[in-house]
Amino acid sequence: KQEVTQIPAALSVPEGENLVLNCSFTDSAIYNLQWFRQDPGKGLTSLLLIQSSQREQTSGRLNASLDKSSGRSTLYIAASQPGDSATYLCAGSTSNQFYFGTGTSLTVIP
Amino acid sequence: DVKVTQSSRYLVKRTGEKVFLECVQDMDHENMFWYRQDPGLGLRLIYFSYDVKMKEKGDIPEGYSVSREKKERFSLILESASTNQTSMYLCASSSDNPLATTYNEQFFGPGTRLTVL
pLDDT in tens, B35-94: 999 988 889 999 999 999 999 999 999 999 999 999 999 999 999 999 999 999 999 999
Please tell me the distance from the alpha carbon of residue A15 to that of residue A74, in angstroms, as a whole number: 20
Secondary structure (3-state) at A82:
helix
CB pairs under 8 A between A and B: 55
CB contact under 8 A, B43 and A89: yes
Give the per-residue pLDDT at B2: 63
| Predicted local confidence at residue A96, as pLDDT | 65
Q: What is the pLDDT of residue A98?
A: 86
Q: What is the DSSP pairing of strand B4-6 with strand B19-25? A: antiparallel
Would you state the pLDDT for residue A110?
A: 96
pLDDT attached to residue B81: 97
Q: What is the pLDDT of residue B60?
A: 95
Q: Measuring CA to CA, how many Å separate B81 from each of A103, A104, B101, B104? A: 28, 31, 39, 32
pLDDT in tens, B90-110: 999 998 877 777 778 899 999
Cβ distance A46 to B106 less than 8 Å, yes or no, reads yes
pLDDT tens digits, one per residue of B2-40: 699 999 999 999 999 999 999 999 999 999 999 999 988
> Which residue in A1, A30, A38, A44 has the most chain B C-beta atoms within 10 A of its own C-beta, making it the best mutation to test that interface?
A44
Q: Is A59 left (phi over 0), alpha (psi -120 to 50) or beta?
A: beta
Distance, in Å, from the CA atom of A2 to the CA atom of B42, rounded to the nearest integer, reads 14
Cβ separation B42–A93 shorter than 8 A: no
Residue contact A42–B110, C-beta within 8 A: yes
Mean per-residue pLDDT pooled into runs of 10, chain A (110 residues):
89 97 87 93 93 91 93 96 97 82 95
Please give the Cα distance from B33 to B91 (Å, whole number). 6
Euclidean distance between CA atoms B70 and A79, whole angstroms? 45
